[in-house]
Amino acid sequence: MDAIGSYLPHYDCGTIILNVKAQKRWRVAYVAIRSYRVLLSLSKQNVVRQKESSATLLRPHFAVEIQPAISYHHNDVDIPKPHSPYHDLPDIDPTKLTEMVKERDEASFRRFGGVEGVAAFLQVNPQHGILGNEDDICRRRDKFGSNTYPKPPPKGLLYFVKDAFKDTTILILLACAALSLGFGIKEHGPSEGWYEGGSIFVAVFLVISVSALSNLRQERQFDKLSKISNNIKVDVARDGRRQKISIFDIVVGDVVFLNIGDQIPADGLFLEGHSMQVDESSMTGESDHVEVDRERNPFLFSGSKVADGYARMLVTSVGMNTAWGQMMTSISRDTNERTPLQARLDKLTSSIGKVGLAVAFLVLVVLLIRYFIGETKDEYGHKEYNGSKTEINAILNSVVNIVAAAVTIIVVAIPEGLPLAVTLTLAYSMKRMMADQAMVRKLSACETMGSATIICTDKTGTLTLNQMKVTKFWLGQDDMGEIPSNSISPCILELFRQGVGLNTTGSVYRPASGDVFEFSGSPTEKAILSWAVHELGMDVERLKQTYSILHVETFNSEKKRSGVSIRKNADKTIHVHWKGAAEMVLQMCSNYYETNGTMKSMDEDARNQFEKIIQGMAASSLRCIALAYKQISEVNEDGETNKKLNENELTLLGIVGLKDPCRSGVKKAVEICKSAGVEIKMITGDNVFTAKAIAAECGILGPNDSEHKGAVVEGVEFRNYTQEERMEKVNKIRVMARSSPFDKLLMVQCLKQKGEVVAVTGDGTNDAPALKEADIGLSMGIQGTEVAKESSDIVILDDNFTSVATVLRWGRCVYNNIQKFIQFQLTVNVAALVINFVAAVSAGEVPLTAVQMLWVNLIMDTLGALALATDRPTNELMQRAPVGRTEPLITNIMWRNLLAQALYQIAVLLTLQFKGEKIFNVGEKVNDTLIFNTFVLCQVFNEFNARKLEKQNVFQGIHKNKLFLGIIGLTIVLQVVMVEFLKKFADTENLSRQQWALCIAIAAVSWPIGWIVKFIPVSDKPFLGYLNRAGQALGRILHRTRLSFSSLGGGSGKR
């Protein structure tokens, strides 16, 4: 323990004796013990040095560099800075500290000597934190563990391969392949008989492998994004400096700064703070907030949230040594989250699958009947079935091939590529959105954002830069812009320094070398602290030594002000200081100071004058902050009467105006959203005049809006409307000023009741209800609290409204990409089903073999999804109206496009099936290859058509999508290989150049068809709606007919 003394600051005993009366008893004891240990440690070090110097003659020597203690000077006050050589941490079982906090063991806590004893034991300076160098952190991590916990192992490739084998159709195909392989080898021998069955095996495994690899890639992408979202930044003190580090880098002994809305990153003890209340519901399930203080309940638990107040905590347990870590180990991320769009696609897939199953069953029945009645012939023209003369093996082989063909129809008919396409486009969009400063926390938000009709946005940091600077200062009724601070009365200056330096959650740090100050805290706090230090000569360290803080009321968006009561150590006088929204603080004041220090009573004229000053500053887009104070008397020594700060008859010290410029791209982003049919509403806690000025500057308020009554309201006005009035006026509101989180929630509820799809931005803890209530909650990554982030669907990493507009573009892009793929895949489904059914019924055979149809399935499912689901957003997406909640997934435009292409493909392929041999004078094998090749090339050309649902020019921007061009090229190369080099595998014949040109020419006709059909106008009423109405009308006719017949029957009975 002697080593600890050398680490702690050195104290001047004379100073200690002079200030004993101003310190509490534990501080005197603490200082005395530490001073004694310092002296003892120095004497021991001298003895050690003497021994080492005599021993150097007897052994090889080494040098130890001992640096002098470093201190830094701040306005002639010498403040020691911690320095220590490295010492081993005390040998103790870490579980003792863990159990003490976990069990709230006050007896063990007292045995350690309270929080100071624990800090000394962990070799931590409570003010400056740990040394924080690499060696110190490594020793602590080795001794107490890291702030991480083991996660369940990620899903590997084998998992997704196994998952693919759960598909019933795949299992049936594999069974058919096995039987076909057995019969083929038995009939034709191993060298020739394996082709058909083996080909099906290879094709099935190819489909499974591509699907599994694709799913694995998306799983890894989601895991990567999950790690990023869990990487919370935390403020700690290390080596006397406040800095942000990752939550995973926290070690035992760290001193952590906690504010409202923060997640507590590890288990620990309360060092110091005020009004600290913690929400432990994530751990205990209890919704009541727990008060935390130094004496009665100093225990803080990982995973809890700070509900009120601020504090510094000492970390005692990390990672798996915390209850939260043990709980999180058993929790794995739910990757099976189904988005609304995926749920709709599941229904669509099920419906199409049922149709495919019905067609496959009919084909199976027809082919079996034709086979057993002798209608089918082999390649030599002989009947395949001759009754009892046919061998049982030949019968079984033929039946297996028929079943395989029917099952392959099901495989092609069921659009299992739809879920894959959604997963691909969501994963791709999430990755790109990360690059565009938006981190998706909930998959459903990607697609829901595309349907947003209203965005309710904050002002500060979202529309503005959040780079505050004090540009105006009024003392009394005088503008102090050009007046130097030394002309202000010293007593007034001292009051200002108190009100700024002690009523703050920010901090000031001055490095040992250099005169540059570092400010931390919110942008508003940093701006006011910077102004007070540079303009008013404020010395925070001197203030902290001169005054003691008695009670604090932290700022929140309800009160819009913060307060503190302080006691001067020298004469025990107590001052209450308030700082906050200017017009609200002004209402609490009955006096004000002039520049010369004279206090004047605030009559009605003076109050009106101050209101005009505030309005003038606000109209210049300035945030107005007022400072006020009151001197009070203390009733008892503990200051219990000061728990509730005095809010009446204050004296106004002054008003400062902070400029926060608008972001450069905000006006354009607002215009883009408006052109996309999305209305922007600004909800801010700022003054109504500041709000109007910023809204006009950003383009949210137009010239006509500012004149229109009801476009700008205050939160209290909106709150006091009746429900009917709110519902009537909510759509007209463009700006809501001086709003509380409850007002924001109220507006979201009203808009949702009116059928709007609402996106809301928020950064505070109190914004959580509105973020949860909204269809899409958008939290701020920089200024947002952890509570706000957890309540949101998407985190805007740069707090910029332009990124909100980008999220809107991506939301629409996701929906549009899915629609493109649906159109492409349904074209193949319709064409394949009709062709196979007609050919089976009329000719008794299907034109495409099982392997060929599996190849088509691979093209349209996996490769098609990759090609069409990864298009980037275009400007044209932001020129359409939002997609409604109930709008059908398959629009009339899509029906028009896919039916035109499907009918063309059906006509061409059936012509080739029945007349191809005569028209082109080719044999059956070559004709079948022509059919297969033409069908595949039709899909390749149709992929281009699917890129644009409405525009004639399907090649616009194609050079930007390298993946699309790559997949098209790969598909064509693989098709050439299938036809020309894998003849036995694919059951094809070589084609001449003229035949290839013929196939390409037939397939290329789909381009002009796609161009022409887009001129055909379509109704806004859903296509399927007509069928539903026709069905309902038919039902009504049948119902009336039945009634009329029953009435006739009843009448005849009576007669």
Task: Please state, as a whole number, how many other Cβ atoms lie within 10 Å of the Cβ of residue 269.
Answer: 22
DSSP sequence for 569-638: TTT--EEEEEEEEHHHHHHTEEEEE-TTS-EEE--HHHHHHHHHHHHHHHHTTEEEEEEEEEEE---STT
Number of C-alpha atoms within 13 angstroms, CB side, residue 809?
23
Number of C-alpha atoms within 13 angstroms, CB side, residue 933?
29
Q: Please tell me which residue, 866 or 692, carries the higher pLDDT value.
A: 692
The two structure tokens encoding residue 830: 């319709």
Contacts of 969 (CB under 8 A, 6+ apart): none
- Asked which of 264-278, 531-545, 840-854, 1005-1019 is least confident by mean pLDDT, the reply is 840-854
DSSP sequence for 104-170: T-HHHHHHTTHHHHHHHHTT-BTTTBB--SHHHHHHHHHHH--S--PPPPPP-HHHHHHHHTT-HHH
Q: Please tell me which residue, 423 or 617, carries the higher pLDDT value.
A: 617
Residue type present at position 744: K
What value does the mean pLDDT take over residues 38-53?
Answer: 41
Secondary element (H or E) of residue 497: helix 490-501
Q: pLDDT exceeding 90 applies to what percent of the chain?
A: 25
Beta-bridged to residue 736, according to DSSP, are 683, 713
Q: What is the pLDDT of residue 564?
A: 92
C-alpha 380/C-alpha 373 separation (Å) is 18
The pLDDT of residue 678 is above 70: yes
CA dihedral 316, 319, 324, 329 (to 10 degrees): -160
Q: What is the pLDDT of residue 1045?
A: 53
C-alpha 819/C-alpha 810 separation (Å) is 14
Confidence of residue 1046 (pLDDT cuts 50, 70, 90): low
Beta-bridged to residue 714, according to DSSP, are 737
What value does the mean pLDDT take over residues 761-776?
Answer: 84
Confidence of residue 1015 (pLDDT cuts 50, 70, 90): very high
**Tens of pLDDT, residues 327-369:** 666 554 444 556 667 677 777 777 877 887 888 888 888 888 8
The pLDDT of residue 815 is above 60: yes
Q: What is the pLDDT of residue 896?
A: 93
**Tens of pLDDT, residues 818-876:** 889 889 988 988 888 888 788 877 776 778 877 787 788 777 777 887 888 888 888 88
Q: Please tell me which residue, 603 or 782, carries the higher pLDDT value.
A: 603
Q: What is the pLDDT of residue 972?
A: 93
C-alpha 594/C-alpha 604 separation (Å) is 17
**Tens of pLDDT, residues 714-735:** 999 999 999 999 999 999 999 9
Which DSSP letter does residue 862 get? I
C-alpha 213/C-alpha 163 separation (Å) is 12
- CA distances, 313 to each of 293, 301, 541, 634 (Å): 11, 11, 20, 29
Q: What is the pLDDT of residue 668?
A: 92
> Checking DSSP bridges between strand 299-300 and strand 290-291, what pairing results, if any?
unpaired
Centroid of chain to Cα 80:
44
Query: pTM for this one?
Result: 0.70
Beta-bridged to residue 312, according to DSSP, are 257, 272
Q: What is the pLDDT of residue 506?
A: 84
What value does the mean pLDDT take over residues 653-681?
Answer: 91
Q: Is 775 a catalytic residue?
A: no
Q: What is the pLDDT of residue 285?
A: 62
Residue 712 · residue 681 · CB < 8 Å = no
Angle ∠(587,588,594) on CA atoms, nearest 5: 90
Q: What is the pLDDT of residue 727?
A: 92
- Asked which of 23-37, 94-108, 572-586, 1022-1036 is least confident by mean pLDDT, the reply is 23-37
Q: What is the pLDDT of residue 367?
A: 83
Question: Could you tell me where the beta strands, DSSP code E, fall in 384-468?
Answer: 438-440, 454-457
The pLDDT of residue 983 is above 80: yes
Q: What is the pLDDT of residue 1002?
A: 95
Q: What is the pLDDT of residue 53?
A: 38
The two structure tokens encoding residue 349: 């897939």
The pLDDT of residue 231 is above 60: yes
The pLDDT of residue 50 is above 80: no
Please pick, among 262, 458, 539, 987, the residue that the annotation labels catalytic: 458
Q: Please tell me which residue, 234 or 230, carries the higher pLDDT value.
A: 234
What value does the mean pLDDT take over residues 307-322?
Answer: 87
Angle ∠(354,1009,816) on CA atoms, nearest 5: 60
Q: What is the pLDDT of residue 543?
A: 92
What value does the mean pLDDT take over residues 440-449?
Answer: 82
- Asked which of 203-207, 312-316, 457-461, 706-710 is least confident by mean pLDDT, the reply is 706-710
Q: What is the mean pLDDT of the chain?
A: 79
Residue 381 · residue 784 · CB < 8 Å = no
- Asked which of 90-104, 306-320, 542-556, 981-995 is least confident by mean pLDDT, the reply is 90-104
Q: What is the pLDDT of residue 837?
A: 80
The two structure tokens encoding residue 814: 């996701």
**Tens of pLDDT, residues 172-181:** 768 777 877 7
What value does the mean pLDDT take over residues 244-250?
Answer: 90
